[in-house]
Amino acid sequence: MYAIVDIAGQQFKVEKGADIHAPKLNGEVGDKVEFDRVLLIAKKDNVAVGTPVVEGAKVHAKILEHGKDKKVIVFKKKRRKGYKVKKGHRQQFTKLKIEKIVAAKPAA
């Protein structure tokens, strides 16, 4: 079973037990977080696609750590003008462990 979930404006394919690097989220290490913007859930041949989200579906995760990615170098140069600028940037991230994917309850 896997799901496509929207976390902080970015879409991630998640499965139970997977570790993902998402944009920095509020919360302490060890906190549990819940995402309800589930765009798709697939279980073998049964696929539920949301319009835009799957009603009642949730993804439960645990915050493992906060950190910074590798440095990205931004270098600008204009030839023959003596203009050079070198800047670096390290994006912050949150490492999440997916604990459970809850599918919507079928209407009886």
The CB-based long-range contact list for 102-106 (8 Å cut-off, 24+ gap) reads: 102/56, 102/57, 102/58, 102/59, 102/60, 103/1, 103/41, 103/43, 103/48, 103/54, 103/56, 103/57, 104/41, 104/48, 104/54, 104/55, 104/56, 104/57, 105/56
Structure confidence at residue 108 (pLDDT): 46
Show the low-confidence residues of the chain (pLDDT under 50).
108
Structure confidence at residue 104 (pLDDT): 74
Where in the chain are the domains?
2-102
d(CA 39, CA 57): 9
